[in-house]
Amino acid sequence: MTGTLAERLSSARADARLSLRDVEKQTGVSQGNLSKMESGQQTNPTLNTLTALAGCYGVTVGALIGEANR
């Protein structure tokens, strides 16, 4: 995955074919916070949030934060 954190989060959700509502139900992360993260308005999600999203999307936290690109 390449791009910004916002782009990687949005891409991972799209690849998993999940709506914001689906992700909220599976992770407990609100649709509002998800939207802010995907638009770049919220740039520092917690490790717990990233872990929940990674599990939901079937990717690693490292992939979400761009670690694989280094």
| Residue 54, φ and ψ in degrees, nearest 5 | -60, -45
The per-residue pLDDT for range 8-58, each reduced to its tens digit, is 999 999 999 999 999 999 999 999 999 999 999 999 999 999 999 999 999
Q: How confident is the model at residue 2 (pLDDT cuts 50, 70, 90)?
A: confident
Domains of the chain: 5-69 (1.10.260.40)
pLDDT in the model for residue 65: 93
How many CB atoms neighbour CB 55 within 10 A?
13
Give exposure, 30-52, as e/b (b: 16+ Cβ within 10 Å).
Answer: eeeebeebbeeebeebeeebbeb
pTM: 0.91
